[in-house]
Amino acid sequence: MIILRLDRVMADRKMSLNELSEKVGVSNVNLSKLKTGKVSAIRFSTLEAICKALDCQPGDILEYSPEE
């Protein structure tokens, strides 16, 4: 299972959803779905833009947890 940690990284950077949305060029609705983990896929271009805006690595946002 892949766990999304976008909310944690945004909190660490003190960045709001609106601010990230403007920097990345992705709607608030889509970022909110990412933030809450209600997506099944993410484009690499979107992941790259998020990492650039938050000055982080993909591994800071995505975490693998083996299913039990």
In sequence order, which residues have a C-beta less than 8 Å from that of residue 10 and are 6 or more positions away? Answer: 16, 17, 20, 35, 54
CATH at residue 50: 1.10.260.40
Q: Which of 25, 20, 22 is nearest to 9 (CA)?
A: 20
43 is written with which tokens? 């484009």
pTM of the model: 0.89
Going by pLDDT thresholds of 50, 70 and 90, the confidence category of residue 67 is confident
The boundaries of the domain holding residue 60 are 2-64
User: In the chain, how many domains are there?
Assistant: 1
Q: What angle do CA 22, 23, 27 make, to 5 degrees?
A: 45
pLDDT tens digits for 14-63? 999 999 999 999 999 999 999 888 888 999 999 999 999 999 999 999 99
